[in-house]
Structure 1
């Protein structure tokens, strides 16, 4: 039961709270799946991940519905990039269901898209279908990957576990560095002043 609650919580945090920069949900979910034995426990874990992802999407949708267009002017969106918000809003307006569905596989976008969909007033039926199908596909991908790793027996070797942890930590560090770099304002370009020669 603890694994199921953790799987739900990791998926919810990744999808609805944007905490993937701290602990990538995919890595945590794959790790949980690798530690599960048997088909039924793996399917139950997949269901918990899907429900967590859908719950996270609905949290974002609710924030979007309550905040509406004012969210675009918020400090959080200013830090993330108003242009990103505008692109996501344009995608929702033009593609609706497909925009929400495709966003599920993209880090950061999967957290913002439900909020944008709520603010844009996307029909709930379209949102729900995209959220459930996308959540199921995302859960199947990462639970399946973890189950495959667990079934291969490679986790019996300590160096493999250390390597997986090292790769996970490097991914977190790289993601953090990229976000910090993007958040910095660009230095203004200074054009060189041509030298003036005075003849004596």
Structure 2
């Protein structure tokens, strides 16, 4: 646990602009077709969010991540607009599974622009929905508001989870450090009892032999 909190402390000591820049870049990549399957955007966001300890930091990260997520969605949308359903047969989509592309298309057919919002919380599919929306000729004026709403809610949720996880790790370490000596004492006591019992059991056969 100390190792974890030391790592979080090291991350927290980095300049906040650097943390925001790296997190934003990875979020942009994660939300862009072709890169989203390789860039650990969501994991990076959760980790970076452990540095969020104040409301201004929360708002700054929320704004940066939301803007980068929307930008990534827009890039995916225009790729879909440009190449259409040919993207389904691309190497990247085949690698991740064409069934996910089909699922994204089906979601768009059933939900329209609302699918862009819903897909933001669905792994893999969220990377494909913007491109699929572009390929399906969904109007950008309908796509963009759904993308902004989804990105804003998604980023707020993950930043909140990451921030709470960082605070919890520090709290658990403080509790553990206080309880460590109690646990150690109990362990020593149990060890002494076990040793004394084994010695007593070993001595009993010798006593019986002497009596015989």
Deviation at 1:20, TM superposition (A): 5.3
For residues 129-171 of structure 1, the C-alpha deviation after alignment (integer angstroms, 9 at most, x for no partner) is 110000001101110111112333527849x9xxxxxxxxxxx
Alignment of 1:38-49 (within 5 A): 38-49=54-65
Q: 1:58 aligns with which of 49, 71, 74?
A: 74
Counterpart in the other structure of 1:6: 22
Q: TM-score, normalised by structure 1?
A: 0.71
Q: TM-score, normalised by structure 2?
A: 0.67
Give the structure with the higher percent helix: 2
1:140 aligns with 2:156: yes
For residues 93-132 of structure 1, the C-alpha deviation after alignment (integer angstroms, 9 at most, x for no partner) is 2311111111101111111110100000011122101100
86 and 26 in structure 1: CA distance in 2 versus 1, 3 angstrom threshold: closer
Deviation at 1:27, TM superposition (A): 2.2
Alignment of 1:77-116 (within 5 A): 77-116=93-132
Report the count of equivalent residues. Answer: 159
99 and 31 in structure 1: CA distance in 2 versus 1, 3 angstrom threshold: same
Deviation at 1:40, TM superposition (A): 0.3
| Aligned residues of 2:100 and 2:128 also touching (Cα < 8 A) | no
Counterpart Cα distance in 2 of 1:46 and 1:133: 12
Deviation at 1:69, TM superposition (A): 2.4
| Aligned residues of 1:3 and 1:32 also touching (Cα < 8 A) | yes
Provide structure 2 residue ranges, at least 5 long, that are not aligned to the other structure: 1-16, 177-212
83 and 69 in structure 1: CA distance in 2 versus 1, 3 angstrom threshold: same
Provide structure 1 residue ranges, at least 5 long, that are not aligned to the other structure: 161-200
Supply the RMSD in Å over aligned alpha carbons.
Answer: 2.4
1:127 aligns with 2:155: no
Counterpart in the other structure of 1:154: 170
Counterpart Cα distance in 2 of 1:14 and 1:66: 20
Counterpart Cα distance in 2 of 1:117 and 1:17: 12
The structure having more radius of gyration, on CA atoms, is: 2
Counterpart Cα distance in 1 of 2:94 and 2:35: 18
Q: 1:32 aligns with which of 13, 31, 48?
A: 48
